[in-house]
Structure 1
Amino acid sequence: MSDASRRRFLRSTGAVAGVALVAGCFGGENGDDVLGDPEYVEGRPDPGGTSIEELPDLNGELTIYSGRSQTRIGELMDHLENEYDDLSLEVRYDDTADLTATIETEAETPADVFYGSETQSMTHLKEGGYTTPLPDDVLELSEPDTQDPDGHWAGFTRRFRAIGYYTERYDREELPDDIFEFASDERFRDDIMWAPDQGSFQAFVTAMRVYHGEEETREWLRAMVDDQNVATSPGGDSAMAQATADGEVGIALTNHYVLRDNPGDTLDLAYTSGDAGAMFNVTGATVMADSDDQETAANFVAHLLSAEAQEYFATTTWEYPTIDGVEPIDELQSTDEFEPPELDLNELADLEPTLELLRDETIL
């Protein structure tokens, strides 16, 4: 069965199985309640890792500044608040960059936890002295390559760069596994799209600049524009994924999770290997130094690294968990097949040279 056919089959069987399930908590393979999308939870093994039941209770009032939207995590926030009688969560949802700027202008931020959609913002706040290290028992819950080496933030989900492709024009096996070949292969001339105004693209270019050097990055950008005549997305990654699914372009330089909102057969993903095109970023959180209850704030972070929360992320956001014991959904490739570059995610915060490079090449 092809990957596209498998996705269609799983969606149809999951939809039937999910009819009798109630939104919020959904039955796992052994009948236990787990968070997640009923369409994709059905048939999955019970999540491994540390259960919420093994963590200290959450008590008191916490203010969360969230760069992740209510659509993506609101159900999880409601679940945690309902789980504990003595917990009150005030979640402020906004753009990650706007929340970062708000914290910098506040004399003393009311936020106990900052929930970032990428590492750059969390590193920026750490370097500005706004955050405090997480306890070791919290950091031990997730994998080391998804957290700050200094312990100030922990990642909740991985978000991999990917090559989206139009399946009626290309086969995965025919696509290069080297990001630099997309700038030189004549097959892709006039058939590639990118979204240079998006933070995820800028993080990717930053990774290329850090990992491969500025000159090689400049040459790649210039070749993409001059030789390949790359198109710019009219509306970020979502519009780019749709354009690819519709066959308007054959190749999209994007993020893996765009597959979630394009479940048909005409958009699929390929990945490069061992270069900046194979990088991942993480969503995650940090505890604010101004918090009056840093212990509870850190415990809240631990709850988002629980088995239940990680299952929720896997099946609703289609992102990759950061703990052992919770697998990505079947629609995605296993991380065992990936070869990301060795990169300190803190280096993605060094954005200004990237922006200067993009402006120099008139891409921004």
Structure 2
Amino acid sequence: MVVGALAACGNGGDNAKDGDKEKALTIYSGQHTEVTEALTKEFTKETGIKVDVREGSSNELAHQVAEEGDKSPADIIFTEETAPLVMLSEKGLLEKIDSKALDNMDDQYEDPDGTWVGLLARSRVVAYNPDVVKESELPKTVFDFAKPEWKDKVAYVPTSGAFTNQISAMIMLYGEDETKQWLEGLKKYGKQYKNNKIALDAVEKGDVGAALINNYYWDNEAKEKGADKMNSKLYYFGNGDIGDMISLSGAGIVKSSSHKEEAQKFMEFATEEKGQQVLTDTSSQYPLNSSVDTKDMKPFSELNPPKEALDLGEYSDGEQALELLQEVGLL
């Protein structure tokens, strides 16, 4: 169920008349609060269209839309992962997005039928402390971190959704046995942390040499502190290794929406340069509109992720990965 709500963005808010509230665009958001707030605030400023945001986990909100059916008050669903969008599209619960929005993005980052589109991308990376581990000592594949020479030198977060997606992709690409062997090696030689921020802090302090995280944890901290004041650096394998796997966040229009014109305008705004710049500036995730400036982040065009492991939903449900993590004793 929907677990929270933010006041409507733009003029009026909670003091708006009932008639005005009925005209507000309702977004179910599983994204980080600050990201959604920044985007909707700028959208309202640009268009005058008010927005009401209801928050929850992406999967929870997608199932809420499915349960509500044609009675759903949602106009837009904005998710952290793409699997919830795939589920809703397969159930016929998403509207086709206008070409004005889709044309802003590379078609590899959208549903083939145009019912949802990726808005942001994040890369798996290695954050490392050069005072503990030299860049020349870092491996050429993420699989090597599960070897004895990395005992107590590498941090990982098995409860992370991105880690689970990576395991799902490994299972599909390399098989369950090889993936299990890697997880067993990480458990034996690596250091487990509760979340990615704590893992990055451990690298910053020199408690551990490297950590397997998403790029935006490091990029956000570098934005706040200044990259030259960071003790750690980012390392990309750069050779198509699954350690550089890309995952997407995306959005779609709910088919039962009673504000489809406004919803289409929102999707157009979220995919054009201005909206995409707001998203990447707020989240330090990669915009999927190639015209947008990523500033001090490593340019998206310079990444070399595994082409066969772009997460468009097939890796995001994570059921098999979770079972394997439990079998190995990491959950």
Partner of residue 292, structure 1: 258
Cα distance change of structure 1 residues 172 and 128 upon mapping to structure 2, 3 Å threshold: farther
Partner of residue 256, structure 1: 215
- What is the RMSD computed on CA atoms of the aligned residues? 2.1
Specify which of 205, 217, 223 is matched with residue 179 of structure 2.
217
> Does the CA-based 8 Å contact 2:220-2:284 persist in structure 1?
no
Partner of residue 33, structure 1: none
> Does the CA-based 8 Å contact 2:280-2:287 persist in structure 1?
yes
TM-score normalised according to structure 1 size: 0.77
TM-score normalised according to structure 2 size: 0.84
Partner of residue 47, structure 1: none
Q: Which runs of 5 or more structure 1 residues have no equivalent in the other structure?
A: 1-59
Specify which of 283, 301, 312 is matched with residue 317 of structure 1.
283
Give the letter for the 1:239 counterpart. Answer: I
Matched, 1:240 2:199: yes
> Does the CA-based 8 Å contact 1:146-1:158 persist in structure 2?
no
Counterpart Cα distance in 2 of 1:334 and 1:128 = 32
Counterpart Cα distance in 1 of 2:303 and 2:77 = 32
Specify which of 9, 32, 52 is matched with residue 90 of structure 1.
52
Partner of residue 191, structure 2: 231
TM-aligned CA deviation for residue 140 of structure 1: 1.6
Partner of residue 271, structure 1: 236
Specify which of 57, 61, 68 is matched with residue 99 of structure 1.
61
Specify which of 340, 348, 351 is matched with residue 318 of structure 2.
351
TM-aligned CA deviation for residue 333 of structure 1: 4.7
Report SS of the residue matched to 1:348.
coil
Counterpart Cα distance in 1 of 2:65 and 2:125 = 32
Partner of residue 39, structure 1: none
Give the letter for the 1:276 counterpart. Answer: I
Report SS of the residue matched to 1:114.
strand
Q: Cα deviation per residue 1:207-244 (whole Å; 9 max; x = unaligned)? A: 11122222221121122223x2x22213x111111121
Counterpart Cα distance in 1 of 2:321 and 2:300 = 30
> Does the CA-based 8 Å contact 1:148-1:346 persist in structure 2?
no
Partner of residue 305, structure 1: 271
Cα distance change of structure 1 residues 77 and 93 upon mapping to structure 2, 3 Å threshold: same
Q: Cα deviation per residue 1:127-146 (whole Å; 9 max; x = unaligned)? A: 34332332333222111222
Give the letter for the 1:308 counterpart. Answer: K
Counterpart Cα distance in 2 of 1:243 and 1:73 = 29
Partner of residue 182, structure 1: 145
TM-aligned CA deviation for residue 103 of structure 1: 2.6
Counterpart Cα distance in 2 of 1:97 and 1:350 = 9
Counterpart Cα distance in 1 of 2:208 and 2:110 = 36
TM-aligned CA deviation for residue 276 of structure 1: 2.0
Larger helix share, 1 or 2: 2
> Does the CA-based 8 Å contact 1:183-1:224 persist in structure 2?
yes
The correspondence of residues 65-144 of structure 1 with structure 2, limited to 5 A, is 65-85=28-48, 87-106=49-68, 108-144=71-107
Counterpart Cα distance in 1 of 2:100 and 2:220 = 36
Report SS of the residue matched to 1:347.
coil
Cα distance change of structure 1 residues 148 and 98 upon mapping to structure 2, 3 Å threshold: same
Matched, 1:171 2:115: no
> Does the CA-based 8 Å contact 1:211-1:276 persist in structure 2?
no
> Does the CA-based 8 Å contact 2:43-2:275 persist in structure 1?
no
Counterpart Cα distance in 2 of 1:280 and 1:62 = 30
> Does the CA-based 8 Å contact 2:27-2:78 persist in structure 1?
yes
Specify which of 111, 133, 138 is matched with residue 148 of structure 1.
111
Specify which of 169, 189, 196 is matched with residue 158 of structure 2.
196
Give the letter for the 1:358 counterpart. Answer: L
Identity of aligned residues (%): 28
Partner of residue 246, structure 2: 280
TM-aligned CA deviation for residue 323 of structure 1: 1.1
Report SS of the residue matched to 1:73.
helix
Counterpart Cα distance in 1 of 2:143 and 2:299 = 22
Counterpart Cα distance in 1 of 2:288 and 2:135 = 26
Give the letter for the 1:201 counterpart. Answer: F
Cα distance change of structure 1 residues 176 and 256 upon mapping to structure 2, 3 Å threshold: same
Q: Cα deviation per residue 1:248-271 (whole Å; 9 max; x = unaligned)? A: 211111100011343332121112
Give the letter for the 1:79 counterpart. Answer: E
TM-aligned CA deviation for residue 288 of structure 1: 0.9
Partner of residue 30, structure 1: none
Counterpart Cα distance in 2 of 1:124 and 1:165 = 37
Counterpart Cα distance in 2 of 1:220 and 1:149 = 34
Q: Cα deviation per residue 1:185-223 (whole Å; 9 max; x = unaligned)? A: x33111222111121111111111122222221121122
Partner of residue 157, structure 1: 120
